[in-house]
Amino acid sequence: MDLPNPNQALYTCAVNCILNRRNGKCKNQWDSMACNDCRLYIKRYIDVDPMQAELYMIQAQDQVELDYPRFRLINPLSIFIVLSIAAIVGWWHYSNYLTDKRIADYRLEQQGKQVQQTQQQSANIVPALNTTMQYVYAAMDNVERRLHAEEDINHDGLVNCIDAAIFFYQVYPVKSDVAIIVNRNTVTGFHHLFNSVNFNGTWRAIEPQARYSRQNSIWMEDVWPNKYNAALNRVVTDEYLRYSR
């Protein structure tokens, strides 16, 4: 038996039978005893072989799958439940997002404050360092000029590192931040007088003759890399104060 035209009454019964079982309105298996009382049971209207009737229903089932996709047959209650669950899950995720965002914003705010504090501290330190370097370069200019003039400030008949260290100390404006240092290294044969300057809490050893001798650096460790050992530094400012007055 061929599948009838969809407009035919028998096909309509078969389709409605399939749809009712699909969406749960009918709980019975097709061709069961209960079907005999159903107005959509096609065997009530035709006298055919049971196998042909079953084949007809299979053909109708295939056509229904094409004409009535399953997403159209979703129960409204199921749709409501699905949408409700989706809304709850969505709100849960959104709540978590808001919480995470508040935490992230707070952390960014705290980081911003820390950056501002660091910048402020740096702003306070940089001018101090710049001022210190200005003092250092001004003192070294004085040392260079007086060494070229061969000024012997301690009257020992020599113009050397002793004079340079005393010149530097003499003109450096902040006496609490400058010292005269001696370094004697018997291993390398190094015996030298120089200065140390306080750079915002850190004392650095400076070669006061760096400009006079055209060095690329003013730091002792750079000027005397193979001879200078900072561990051997000794403060001798008091020993030379009488020359710096």
Our count of domains for the chain comes to: 2
Report pLDDT for 42: 83
User: Quick check: is 143 in a domain?
Assistant: no
Report pLDDT for 125: 45
User: Quick check: is 127 in a domain?
Assistant: no
User: Quick check: is 31 in a domain?
Assistant: yes
CA distance 123 to 33: 94
Report pLDDT for 180: 97
The domain in which residue 25 lies consists of 9-73
Report pLDDT for 73: 47
Q: By the 8 A CB rule, do 168 and 143 touch? A: yes
CA distance 12 to 188: 113
Which residue, 73, 93, 128, sits at the end of a domain? Answer: 73
Which residue, 52, 73, 94, sits at the end of a domain? Answer: 73
Report pLDDT for 8: 80
Q: What is the pTM of this model?
A: 0.50
CA distance 172 to 157: 24
Structure tokens of 140? 């070294």
Report pLDDT for 100: 79
The series of mean pLDDT values per 10 residues for the chain, 245 residues long, is: 60 86 85 85 80 82 77 62 84 80 78 65 56 92 95 95 96 95 95 95 95 94 94 96 87
SS3 181: strand
Q: How far are the Cα atoms of 59, 72, 135, 198 from residue 129, in angstroms, in the given order?
A: 93, 78, 10, 10
User: Quick check: is 120 in a domain?
Assistant: no
Q: How many helices (H) and strands (E) does the chain have?
A: 6, 4
Which residue, 49, 73, 97, sits at the end of a domain? Answer: 73
User: Quick check: is 217 in a domain?
Assistant: yes
Report pLDDT for 168: 97
User: Quick check: is 135 in a domain?
Assistant: no
pLDDT tens track for 126-140? 556 688 889 999 999
Report pLDDT for 4: 52
